[in-house]
């Protein structure tokens, strides 16, 4: 039996609260253990380590994991991989890791074989929701509504589709005397686009099924089957490198950036060394210390201040900046400069409390290991593109720019974009409530 579901974003889509570790997700179905599973092999032939390549400041894998965890629909969220770096990224984004065996890590291994291995090793799981890492515009509301087709409507399998308006013709091999012909078109009665419903095609975003279908029937689409139609703007599938720039623009517009908060950001902490500067200190012949600051970054500070976001610059005991330089920075940027110890959180926690803010209202930009606690805790966090992996894995956004070359400007624009999105969402919600 086949059925369908067509959806757009519902009122309040994505507002599911804080991102929780996978092991703390609430029980979604009273009887069954429902798990999300993302397959992320390290040996991608098209794009090396594609699954953790940065897309709009987030590892490709992170987009899907964020949607899965924020949906609150899964008892567990897993990444199946054979690669150490992918494992680190998966754990940093709230997933548990299934280390797949060599038998299902080959170029010839199918997704079905890997999912079946996972199912045999996790017998407590009753429903497996296979999410594709290459579909970065997936939102929590997609997962919630599709999964309810299994938990509430009694379907055994649900998969995602998108509507396409493309006429298909038979391919003719070179040298063949065959003639081509249309599969879904009568040329003499060619319809206008608006008069044709188009066709439903799998978009590869997800495949949900029971473990009984997987292990007994050896299929992911069986039993009582339904499809879940996603709008074209959410149907992004990255297979080759040429897709990356296009996908990046689509994600910036239609991607899921986390549950919006009412104020987004009211306070920003930014390290001077490694973020505002490139970490270089220049010494003059007379012994004077000098640093280089990109004018785009100082303009970024003024952009944030104009939006009533207080910016506080940080210098560390581990890498102190001369007082004369901090005075000049204060004069040039209008920012308070605060010296922190080897664990910035010790002092900054008190500052946040004194300002009667919560960490969800805070943005933090750091560049090294001592920043990890603050990067994890802040509502929005970023590191320059040349930060070490330990900092990159803890941050929510990784800049393309390096420290001292416009990374702060890039993060500031990201903050303001999210603020504008939250503002638009609140305004749309207000209009909907008034009109309906």
| Whole-number Å distance between alpha carbons of 30 and 151 | 9
- In the numeric block, the tokens 């930060």 are attached to 387
| 209: phi then psi, degrees, rounded to nearest 5 | -160, 160
Pairing verdict, β 282-283 and 289-290: antiparallel
Q: What's the token pair of residue 151? A: 């938990």
> What is the SS3 assignment for 368?
coil
Look at residues 196, 125, 199 and name the one whose alpha carbon lies nearest to residue 168: 199
Contact 264, 182 (CB under 8 A): no
CA angle, residues 14, 303, 371, in degrees to nearest 5: 65
Q: Is 299 a catalytic residue?
A: no
Instruction: Report d(CA 367, CA 297) in Å as an integer.
Output: 15
Beta bridge partners of 207: 130, 159
Spot the catalytic one: 190, 302, 332, 430. Answer: 190
Q: What angle do CA 15, 355, 336 make, to 5 degrees?
A: 115
**Element spanning 427, H or E:** helix 407-435
H/E element, 96 = strand 96-99
What is the rounded distance in angstroms from the CA atom of residue 127 to the CA atom of residue 100?
A: 19
Which H/E stretch holds residue 146? helix 140-151
Can you give 11-73 as a three-state secondary structure string? Answer: CCCCCCCCCCCHHHCCCCCCCCCEEEEEECCCCCCCCCCHHHCEECCEEHHHHHHHHHHHHCC
- Cβ-based neighbours of 399, under 8 Å, separated by 6 or more: 57, 382, 383, 384, 385, 407, 410, 411
* Sheet of 127-131, strands arranged across: 2-6, 225-230, 157-164, 199-210, 127-131, 34-39, 76-81, 96-99
- Which residue has 């339904």 as its token pair? 226
- CA–CA separation, 254 and 262 (whole Å): 19
> Catalytic amino acids?
190
């Amino acid at each position: 039996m086949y059925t369908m579901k067509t959806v757009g974003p519902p009122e309040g889509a994505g507002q599911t609260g804080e991102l929780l570790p996978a092991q703390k997700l609430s029980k979604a179905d009273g009887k069954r253990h429902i798990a999300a599973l993302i397959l992320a092999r390290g040996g991608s032939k098209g794009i090396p380590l594609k699954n953790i390549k940065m897309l709009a400041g987030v590892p490709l894998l992170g987009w899907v994991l964020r949607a899965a965890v924020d949906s609150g629909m899964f008892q567990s969220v897993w990444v199946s991989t054979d690669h150490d770096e992918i494992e680190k990224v998966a754990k940093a984004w709230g997933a548990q890791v299934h280390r797949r065996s060599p038998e299902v890590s080959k170029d010839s291994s199918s997704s079905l074989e890997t999912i079946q291995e996972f199912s045999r090793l996790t017998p407590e799981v009753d429903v497996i929701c296979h999410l594709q890492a290459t579909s970065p515009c997936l939102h929590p509301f997609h997962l919630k509504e599709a999964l309810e087709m299994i938990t509430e409507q009694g379907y055994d399998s649900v998969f995602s589709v998108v509507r396409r308006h493309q006429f298909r013709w038979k391919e003719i091999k070179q040298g063949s005397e065959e003639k081509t012909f249309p599969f879904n078109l009568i040329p003499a009665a060619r319809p206008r686009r608006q008069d044709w419903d188009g066709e439903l095609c799998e978009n590869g975003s997800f495949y949900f099924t029971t473990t009984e279908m997987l292990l007994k029937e050896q299929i992911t689409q069986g039993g009582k089957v339904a499809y879940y139609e996603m709008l074209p703007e959410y149907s992004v599938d990255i297979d080759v490198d040429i897709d990356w720039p296009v996908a990046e623009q689509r994600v910036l517009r239609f991607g899921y950036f986390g549950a919006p908060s009412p104020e987004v950001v009211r306070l920003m902490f930014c390290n001077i060394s490694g973020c505002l500067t490139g970490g270089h200190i220049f010494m003059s012949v007379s012994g004077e210390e000098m640093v280089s600051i990109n004018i785009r970054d100082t303009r970024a500070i003024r952009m944030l201040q104009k939006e009533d976001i207080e910016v506080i610059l940080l210098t560390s005991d581990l890498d102190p900046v001369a007082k004369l330089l901090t005075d000049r920075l204060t004069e040039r940027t209008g920012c308070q400069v605060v010296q922190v110890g080897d664990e910035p959180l010790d002092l900054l926690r008190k500052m946040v409390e004194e300002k009667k803010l919560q960490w969800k209202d805070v943005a933090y930009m750091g560049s090294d290991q001592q920043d990890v606690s603050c990067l994890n805790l802040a509502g929005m966090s970023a590191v320059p593109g040349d930060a070490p992996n330990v900092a990159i894995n803890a941050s929510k956004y990784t800049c393309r720019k390096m420290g001292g070359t416009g990374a702060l400007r890039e993060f500031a624009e990201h903050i303001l974009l999210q603020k504008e999105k939250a503002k638009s969402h609140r305004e749309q919600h207000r209009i909907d409530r008034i009109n309906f």
